[in-house]
Amino acid sequence: MKYWQQVLRENDPGRERMDAEIAARMREQVVRTGRGATRSAAVWPIRFALAAFACLVVMISLLATQRPVAVPDQDQPAPSVAGTERRQIQFATPGGTRIIWEINPDFTMGDTIP
């Protein structure tokens, strides 16, 4: 069984066309160019700009989500609730379940809702 590399080498149409000296010069040129190549200095400013932009986005999102706490006015009295008035508190959970609480200030054990 032949490996694929051996099959490629045997069936290479350019094997006879290229002189060994020309191939050696080409390899030498490629290696010399590869060793002389350095990383571009222009990469770091781009990375720094992207990192600074990401930090800016995070800071703005953190500041935007902070909501000021509403402090009730000390001069105004709390709203009074009538003694016999029933109130409801309703909210929904993230799963879609609705919860309704009925607040009855005159509640006694054994009281039923009509």
Distance CA 102, CA 88 (A): 4
Q: Identify the pLDDT of residue 9.
A: 82
Count other Cβ atoms within 10 Å, centred on residue 102. 11
Cα-Cα-Cα-Cα dihedral sign, residues 49, 55, 56, 57? positive
Tokens, residue 110: 């054994």
Cα end-to-end span (Å), the chain: 90
Q: What pTM value is reported for the model?
A: 0.29
Segments of the chain with pLDDT less than 70? 15, 37-42, 69, 71-84, 107-114
In tens, the pLDDT along 21-49 reads 888 898 899 888 878 766 666 677 888 99
For 103, list phi and psi in degrees, rounded to 5. -100, 120
Q: Identify the pLDDT of residue 52.
A: 96
